[in-house]
Structure 1
């Protein structure tokens, strides 16, 4: 919600700052999703009864 407010107020005053806020927010959510996915896969590998080679 905060990035949307920053973009809303910055778009008329500083378009480059608004663009930076959007890019930063997008990058954050992409990285966060990669981390969540990696954590989920790690948990699945720990629970699976597979040999080290098949992991």
Structure 2
């Protein structure tokens, strides 16, 4: 099997697809055009730094 590099864009699309699938399984919907608040983005960035 040939090795291929995975770009950041591909990873982000996979995360998006996984999140939407998970929400669908739980009978929740993510609104089209949903944008996280600045506070949530900062929280996630802080968690990522500490991981």
The structure whose Rg is larger is 1
Flag the structure with more relative contact order, 1 or 2, with Cα contacts below 8 A and sequence separation at least 6.
Answer: 1
Q: TM-score, normalised by structure 2?
A: 0.42
